[in-house]
Every structure is written in structure tokens, then in C-alpha cells.
Chain A
Amino acid sequence: MLRVDTEERAGEVVTPRVAEPLARPGRSGTLSLFWSELGLTFRRWRTLALFAILAVIPVVVGIAVKIETRDGGVAGGGDGEGPAFLSQVTNNSLFLVFTSLAVTLPFFLPMAIGVIAGDAVAGEAGVGTLRYLLVAPAGRSRLLLAKANATAVFCAAAVLVVSVSALLTGMALFPVGDVTLLSGSTISFGDGLLRVLAVAGVVAASLLGLAAIGLFISTLTNSGIAAMATTVGVMITVQILDAIPQLDMIHPYLFPHYWLGFVDLVRDPVIWDQVQDNLVLQAVYVAIFGSAAWARFTTRDISA
């Protein structure tokens, strides 16, 4: 996926180099930038702090549910109040994963994505390292692609952190065993884990649209903070718009609209409509904002 050559290459005769008569490095040289990008993202304290926040939330939710249901009461009042699945958590530990994802999806997960995606290009431009990457020469398309891929990996990792933390907390506090789905049928714990995996995958994919927006915003400015704040601001604004009933004609086009549609994966049989709509919508956002980011980044003057 990183083999896209930069546009500068078209029509150029590749001249042999005086300094390095050896064979040119192959695939490993091409992938270096992506691995470097991943390392850069995941070794920062900031990333680890975001992961820590994401990991703590399921623990807090789990403990809260445990305390509230200590005397045999029903979590969430039993009348559908509170986050999705909350009332099922006491029945099966796996539901803590679904609950935790439902709790973090509206704010904490997208905030983390906003920070990473927003800072991706703007942060390097602000510090000045961007100019050294480009004269290395990283190639603008190649660098953007490496950053986009690293951001996508971060989306998956963030969801994974929430899921694993929720799973471990759930297994420590609540029953482990056959899972009764929302539709009333029962599946084995192993099958339940597969559902968890599917839900995590869909949630991670749900974040890609926002990641593309963040990356685009990141190419517009030399301030990482500004890009992060703008991305998070856009995320909040769009969610507010999504909650205003009078605007329901635009709702199907807003990237968070189908976020909680992953609920349908916990039914038997699975209802795919919303999940499908979500994935298509995210793909459209990635295409539009990915192209916009590319168009901007490959033509802009790097003056910082």
C-alpha cells in the first residue's frame, strides 16, 4: 500500500548514483518511512497518555456498574437509561466491551483521533522537521500516505485499548460464559468474542472519516495545536448538528450519524444495514478529505 511513487518520478530517467554503486534497496527501504511514522506515533508520551485515558474508562464504568448493582439492583435503572448495553453488563462480561465502546465513541475516541491526525503534518511543520523529511526526500505523497496509514493504525490501536481493557475488567467483575444477545438468542463465549472483534473493527473503521478530516486540517496550518483543536471542534460541531431533529435531511451525510449502529452486530441475525451505510459513509469521507489533503500538501509552500 506504500508503493505509490511520487508524481515527480513520472518521465524521469533514474540516473545511477556516483556515491552508491550498490543495488538500490527494495521494499524494506520503501516501508521504512511507514515504520518510522508508526514508531514516532506510538513512542510519544502523549500517545501513551491517550491510551491510558482510554484504558481507564472501561475500568471506571465496570466498577460503577458493580457498585450500583451490588444489592441486586439493575444498572441504568432497567428502563433503558444510560449508555447502550449497560443493563446487560451484569449478565455477561462481554457486554462491558460494547458498553465501553458506546461510552467512548462519542467523545474520547474521536478526541484521541483528532489529536493524532491533527498533529500529523502540522506538528512537524511547526517544529520544522517537515522540511528535513521532504529534502531527505520523503516525497510528499509518500509522506502523506505513511502518515495516513499510521493514523489508521492508531484508530485501530485506540479501539483495541478500550476493548482489551473492557474485556479484562469485565472478566474480573462479571460472569464469563454463554452470551445472551439483544435479540434473546444465546451464543457461546467464543462466538461472543468474535462479535467483540467484529464490533471493534467496525468502530475503528467508524473513526476513519474523522481521521481523514483531521489529516486534511493538518495540512492547512503550521500549528499542531490549532489543527488538533480545529479537528476536535469539527467533531463536536458535527455531533451537535447530528442531534438537531430539524436538520434530519443532512443527518445521513454526517460522519458520526451511524457510529452507534454497531449495536446491530450484537443481534441474531445480524442487521447489516446501518453498519454498511456507516462503512460507505466513512469511505466517502476518506476519499474526499484524503484527496483534499493530498491536493493541498503536494502543492503548498513549506515555509516553516
Chain B
Amino acid sequence: MHLSVPTTDAGAPQEEPALVTRGLTKRYRGGQLAVDGLDLSVPRGSVFGFLGPNGSGKTTTIRMLMGLIAPSAGAMRVLGQPMPRAARTVLPRVGALIEGPALYGFLSGWDNLVRFDSADPDADPGTRRERVGHALERVGLTSAAGKKARAYSLGMKQRLGLAAALLQPRELLVLDEPTNGLDPQGMREIRALVRELAADGTTVFLSSHLLDEIEHICTHAAVMARGRLVTQGTVADLAAGVHSHLVVGTPDPEDALRVLKEHGVLDLVAEGERVLGQLPGEDPPDLADLNAALVRAGVRVRAFGTERGSLEDAFVALTGEGFDVAG
């Protein structure tokens, strides 16, 4: 892509997405179509959630993007350059965690990082100690640096894998299920780290099967199902596609249903002691009036309010199936 506009010192026009694919397809030798005509576009500076059930083709896509497997069809550009042809110049600028960490069990955490750093031809051996130490510190493994990696817990291994991705300042981080195997505290820490990195301007491409994870830390998201891209856009837009629910907690659901129906609330359902409904799009009733009407009619109200549509609702609406379906 040669443009006449002056380029920045990144060598590529900044407006070009960090990651873009066109018709990316992978058919395995058995004939199984793992990824089918994927058109993905990850804006620079975004935290991009790559969402889909296990087996939906997320990892295959990431492997293609990182030059590990060859696509059957289609093209991809990473940081403005064609992959896998430009792997040598692109990959040093990319940190990756792919399908869980993989470590040399007989080496210490420190030596594992030294090993991975030695594989990067752009890594300066003169600053290696310093960078390894810094990466370990960032993921909170400094005190376990001398321990053999085989003695690490899954969470520690995950952190060490992340540390390997952070050995150099990166323009793009590709993180495949980065919070897998972590306890809630570890998850929070990793998410905080991702936010911190994103705040520094690093583009983060994060795959996950955890919807709330994507909702909490991503600015953009794409949804995969059975090898196909279902949708992509900003997280706000995706969730906005789903209407807000009215939720009423009450021990008198029948009465509540009747009153709410009289006031024009749609799609009413009672789930035990919860009544769910959809506020009409045009001329919605004031929530305060609704609540007052319920109380006036003798309905005992425990809880009252609206719930924003979640990505999970968006996913179900888009694919017509639950999220836990393995493709």
C-alpha cells in the first residue's frame, strides 16, 4: 500500500489498522474449514476483543496472523506489512501469547525469558538482563524468577508467558485467552496490566471466551462463530444493538405483569419473583410513574430498574445460540 502522504516514523501510515485481514480462510488437510473468509480490521490503539466459543476458529486465526500456519486463501497485513512475508520485520514489534504459555520446565523463569529473547534477532544482548528483569517485575514474578518453571502454578506460567510478550516495547500485543487458569485476583491484575499497556498506546488484540472480560476491558470487539465473523465494531455499538430490560423484583409477579402491561411495557415475562419487560422504543413511560403505579396497585416492589443489554445478549441475538456451544 503505497500512499503519497508523508508517513510517520513507524514506516506505515498511522491510519492503517494494526491488523487487517481480507477473506482469510484456513481449511485443514482433513477438509475441515476452521476459518472461513474472515474480514477483520483492528484499529490502532484499540483494545480489541476477539470473541467466540471454544472451537470457533480464534486460535487458528491468531496462528495465521503470527505466521505459524499458512492460510488456504486470503491476505493479511499486520502493522501495515504483509504477513507472513514480512514476519522478520513485523514480529519483533509484536508480543504474543498463543494458546497458553509453553515453557522449558527444566529452566528457571529467568532463563526461559533469556531463551525467548535470544530467539529475537533484534533483541540487544547488552540490555537483556535489564529487560528480562523488567518484564518479570511487570507481571509480578520477580521473587519466583529463580524457580524452575516446572514448579510454577498455571497462573505463574501464564504470567511468565505474558512476560515473554513484554520483553520489548511492542506496538501490538496478541493475547490468546490471557486470563485462562488465573484466580480472580490474578485476572484483575492481568486486566489492569492490559489497560496500562493500552494506555501507553499499545494496540491489544485479545481473544477470549469470557464475555464480561471483553466487556470490561475492550474498546472494540469481533464475534466469531463456527469459523465465520458474525460481527465487529465498538463494544458500545455491539451492546447498544440490544435493548435495555426493565427488571422488577416482586413477590407478586401476576399483579406486576398486569399493571406493567396496562402501561405499555412489551415482551413481559415472569421468572419466579422477577418480572422482565421491554420498554417501548417510542414514547417510553417514565420509570418513576411506572414504579408509583405498581405500588398504587398494591404490588410489593423489592427491586426496580433497567438492565443494560450485555454482550452476551448481543451474542445470543446474533448467533441465535447460547455462548457455551462448542463449534
A interface residues with partner B (beta carbon < 8 Å)? 5-6, 8-9, 12-20, 22, 24-25, 28-30, 32-33, 35-36, 40, 43-45, 127-129, 131-139, 142-143, 299, 301-303
Contacts and interface: CB of A to CB of B under 8 A. Distances in A.
B63 A134 contact: no
A135 B85 contact: no
Contacts of B104: 40, 127, 129
22 contacts: A9-B88, A12-B81, A12-B89, A18-B10, A20-B168, A24-B122, A25-B125, A25-B126, A29-B124, A29-B125, A32-B117, A40-B107, A44-B106, A127-B105, A129-B103, A131-B99, A133-B119, A135-B68, A138-B120, A142-B121, A301-B63, A301-B69
Interface stretch (B90-98, B210-218, B281-289, B290-298): B90-98
Contacts, number: 145
A228 to B, nearest CB: 17
A137 B68 contact: no
B121 A33 contact: yes
Main DSSP-derived SS at the B contact region: loop
A19 B171 contact: yes
Nearest to B11: A15
A143 B123 CA distance: 15
A14 B89 contact: yes
Given A33-B118, A135-B66, A136-B120, A129 B102 contact: yes
Nearest to A9: B88
A15 B125 contact: no
Contacts of A129: 102-104, 115
Interface in B213-250: none
B26 to A, nearest CB: 9
Interface of B: 9-12, 63, 66-70, 81, 84-89, 91-94, 96, 98-100, 102-107, 114-126, 161, 164, 168-171
4 closest A-B pairs by beta carbon, nearest first, are: A128-B102, A15-B11, A36-B118, A136-B119
B125 A135 contact: no
Contacts of B168: 19-20
Contacts of B102: 127-129, 131-132
A301 B68 contact: yes
A17 B94 CA distance: 11
A138 B171 CA distance: 19
Contact of B10 (A14, A15, A25): A15
Contact of B119 (A19, A22, A143, A301): A143
A32 B122 contact: no
Contact of B115 (A22, A36, A302): A36
A33 B115 CA distance: 8
Nearest to B84: A8
Contact of B91 (A16, A20, A137, A301): A137
Contacts of B87: 6, 8, 137, 139
A12 B85 contact: yes
A15 B119 contact: no
Given A131-B99, A137-B120, A138-B119, 4 more contacts: A6-B87, A19-B168, A33-B119, A135-B68
Nearest to A2: B121
A137 B86 CA distance: 11
B68 A15 contact: no
Given A129-B104, A135-B66, A139-B121, A16 B9 contact: yes
A38 to B, nearest CB: 11
Contacts of B121: 29-30, 32-33, 137-139, 142
A40 B115 contact: yes
A241 B315 CA distance: 63
Given A33-B119, A36-B118, A132 B88 contact: no
Contacts of B63: 131, 301-303
A33 B123 CA distance: 11
B170 A19 contact: yes
A188 B72 CA distance: 67
A259 to B, nearest CB: 32
B118 A16 contact: no
Given A25-B124, A131-B98, A303-B69, A8 B85 contact: yes
Contacts of B9: 16, 18
A230 B70 CA distance: 27
Nearest to A6: B88
A37 to B, nearest CB: 8
B114 A36 contact: yes
A35 B118 contact: yes
A151 B193 CA distance: 40
Contacts of A8: 84-88
Contacts of B169: 19-20
B118 A19 contact: no
Contact of A132 (B86, B122, B124, B164): B164
B118 to A, nearest CB: 4
A128 B106 CA distance: 14
A257 B162 CA distance: 50
